[in-house]
Structure 1
Amino acid sequence: MSYDVASVRAHFPSLASGTAHFDGPGGTQVPEQVGRAVAATLTAPIANRGSVTAAERVADETVLAARAAVADLLGADPAGVVFGRSATQLTFDLARTLAAGWGPGDEVVVTRLDHDANIRPWVLAAENAGATVRWAAFDPATGELTADDVAAVLTDRTRLVAVTGASNLIGTRPPIAAIAERVHAAGALLVVDGVHLTAHAPVDVRTLGADVFLCSPYKFLGPHCGVLAADPGFLATLRPGKLLPSTDTVPERFELGTLPYELLAGTTAAVDFLAALGEGGSRRERLLTAMSTLEEYEDGLRADLETRLAALPGVRLWSRAAHRTPTLLLTVDGRDPADAYRFLADRGVNAPAGHFYAIEASRWLGLGDTGGLRAGLAPYSDADDVDRLVTGLREWLAT
């Protein structure tokens, strides 16, 4: 099936400003139906979840609908979908819960490629438990993180491995299924940060072999909240800290306090928007075709952008992995990427600069804490956006 980007763009009110958005990896623009869903839920009769009043039932139905929608997006069990303020918060909560069973001699593996949200929670939890942290390094020359790189630091004391599904800095997509085989053979758990991956490709958590998969709706056209997906049987083995009167059922035992019902309604609307771009019978089938078509479209646009950026004088591209998202990181020798960021912003092109919380990856690449200029494509990106970015950078290089 073909991808009609003009039709897609028509659903995003913010694009009427004329800005070319390459800042999607930090949070996408939102289609009108998502905003309407948030507003409608906020203004409808609503209360804490229950079954007695109509307002209680609205809240309950909103939560269950959001679990079902996210489960369809990820190929997960809705009974194992947990919502939180952010993926970072959910990871910290999970790390504290799992670390209660760790001690001296136990080992946790993190990678140099990851966003710090899938590094620091595990490092801090391990330190508090007296466990050892081991680091899996990626190849800075190619940007690749292989299953062998992870296997090299596994031992019979490894309790957990945390790895990204795709780098938010340079786009690298590690071979998660192959990594999962090595991790499970070592008897360890695999936690996958799918925040960047979920926005750009079809996801099936079972095929990936992730014991825990996290993502953020605001990276795939939705509102600001976080999602954790895992097998409900596995979640039932975990005992998080919670309030005494709060329910002990799964997944609710992991959701501290009242959920943001309006954001969950927006999440469902975002998933439905993506599903409407696909073909098939069930929502899951439509999502798979939609995300496959989107992946192909974004990859083609990325290839054109990459070729044109590489032709600019002095530009160095750091996104080199064979399998990656449409996310490009670039630097120019002797020039501050933050200057390019500001120059482009004045011309209505949003391409931010920095390390984007992937600080270990930025340092490993030799970019320190400065990082580079990141150009990330999204479902609404088009050829005109690419032209404007390339033209803007060419003008900046001439200054």
Structure 2
Amino acid sequence: MLLRERERERGRGGGERERERERERERERERERERERERESERERERERERERERERERENQRSRKRSKERCREREGERERERERERERERERERERERESEIKKERYGERERERAREVEREREKERERERERESEREREREREREREREREREREREREREREREREGSEREKQRSRKIERERGGGREGERERERERERERERERERERKREKEREREREREREREREREKRERERERERERERERERERERERIRDQRERERKRERERERESERERERERERERRERERERERERERERERERERERRERERKTEITKNVEREVYIERAREVEREREREREREREREREREREREREKKRERKRERERERVRERERERERERIRDQERGRKRGVERGRERERERERENQRSRKR
């Protein structure tokens, strides 16, 4: 018992150590994630610095563009007007797309309504079929009731025949008794008895005649009932034919309504198509007017350029030497500006090269850090395997020790 208790203690202790190592690995992974987040933050800050440098370059370019814009404001104004015209054309196209979308939605709504009407018609047909099935079931129940009444009448006739047979049997029995009595009495009394017997026989014959008459009456009643049933079925068939004619008329009316609706839709579609055609015609006219105005503006600009050219030629003729000096100075200034720009570009390139070098160093550092983390992870894995191996050996040793203890206990038992 003590050995088993100690074994369980050691097992719990080993499990606790394993859980502790697992928690340690989890903490290490958390620290690694934290370092990764820190590196990500560093990269984000680096990207922010790069964006800041980019914004600085953009501001520099903007200043350069501003200087250029000062020299080409007129051209930019013309381009802006062209863009405005393009935006106007885009808005017009957007309106056209909206009109097309509206038409599509109208068509879609029409199709939806048509489907809804079709579903409603189908439901109405289903309700009609259900009513028809209910009528058929009602007729079947009525026929069943009629058959039941016929069976009841048949049973009643059978009971009547049974009673008739019983009466006839009783009558025959009485006749035999009277015959025996007559044979005993003889004489006039026998004659009177025979007369009474004949009277009774005539009465029975009249009774049988009345019964046959009743039977014939019942047969006529059944015939009338069958006639009424035939008439009823005939009326039912007539009503059914009438309903079928009504359904046919309804289908015809529905077909006419659908045809008229399709015709109206086609008419609306033709109207919309005519409207679109008129709109396209107006658009062509508007574009034609726009092109005409554009050609007029172009001719005006051409005249303006011609005037400016003549003015420049005149001024050039007047101040040719001064203009040449100014031009040369401006060319030198432009060249110096270009040289400064090239120098700034080279400086930016050197800065980017230094930045790439720093990034490589940081990446190598991060790689070394990841390698150290992987090495620690491998070391922890090897330690876990060694712990498992030691635990297994201890378990084997404990098993052997328990086996030896049992052997010694058995020996002591045998000795005792």
TM over 0.5: no
Q: Hey, which of these two has a bigger chunk of helix by percent?
A: 2
Q: Hey, which of these two has a bigger chunk of strand by percent?
A: 1
- In our comparison, the structure showing a higher alpha carbon Rg is 2
TM-score by length of 2: 0.11
TM-score by length of 1: 0.12
